[in-house]
Amino acid sequence: SIVMQTCSTNERYQAAGAVHPSFISPDMAATVQCPFIFLPTKDDAKAMTGIKEAMDKTQFGASSVYKSFDTMHHGFCTGRGDLNVPEQAAAVTEAIHLLTTFFNDKLAPDAA
């Protein structure tokens, strides 16, 4: 929620994101001032309720990214994850790829 709050009150950010987001709301999403990448897990469905719909009403909805990791638990990309479990390691690798691609695209010198 801190990232969404910061991007809602400051136009200088060009992109932002949240892996396994929590404590967010459609009202917060409606005020975000940049494209956003959301990577929720099976445990984050409640937090994500109405988020895409709210973002889609903003000028950044079309340039935002939503990818659910429906077989992963909240925290899989942090200390709660276990990279010795092949499925989790693959999901972390995919999340890193998605984040890298998103930020490279949005923060490129010629990005709009």
Residue 112's contacts (CB-CB under 8 Å, 6 or more residues apart) are none
Element (H, E) at 46: helix 45-48
Domain ranges (residues) in the chain: 2-75+89-107
pTM over 0.95: no
CATH class of 2-75+89-107: alpha beta
With a cut of 70, list the residues of the chain below it in pLDDT.
Answer: 111-112
Q: State residue 40's pLDDT score.
A: 95
